[in-house]
Amino acid sequence: MYLHIGSGVVVDTKKVIGVFNLKGLKENLFCTEEFKREGDFSCVLTDEGVFFSELSSLTLQKRAENALREIDKFCGKIVVRA
């Protein structure tokens, strides 16, 4: 399954290691300037790299959960014939 994280960026959910809220990090004195960019609310860490998103980590979680629910609904309507 793929997750749209904003700004036309889509990541493979199998490669996601974690999604982190940047609000707390931006207030950290030891945080690098790269993490303090305006407009970024979350960071998506994958095994292919780090992606920044203007969407909150909660919004990204809800998107993933809604996609899984839709898949479950669809799979429940499939009739398997022998």
Q: What is the pLDDT of residues 41-78, one digit of tens each?
A: 888 999 999 898 889 999 999 998 888 888 888 887 65
pLDDT interval class at 23 (50, 70, 90): confident
Residue 12 pLDDT greater than 70, yes or no: yes
**Residue 82 covered by a domain:** no
Percent of the chain beyond pLDDT 70? 72
* Domain housing 61: 2-77
- Residue 13 domain flag: yes
* Domains identified in the chain, total number: 1
Query: 16 pLDDT exceeds 80?
Result: yes
pLDDT at 31: 56
Reported pTM: 0.70
Residue 3: per-residue pLDDT: 92
Asked if 60 contacts 42 with a C-beta cutoff of 8 angstroms, the reply is yes
Nearest by Cα to 50 from 29, 30, 78, 20? 20
H or E element in which residue 1 lies? none
Question: Could you tell me if residue 67 is inside a domain?
Answer: yes
How far apart, in whole angstroms, are the C-alpha atoms of residue 50 and residue 19? Answer: 10
Exposed/middle/buried for residue 60 (C-beta within 10 Å: 0-12, 13-18, 19+): buried
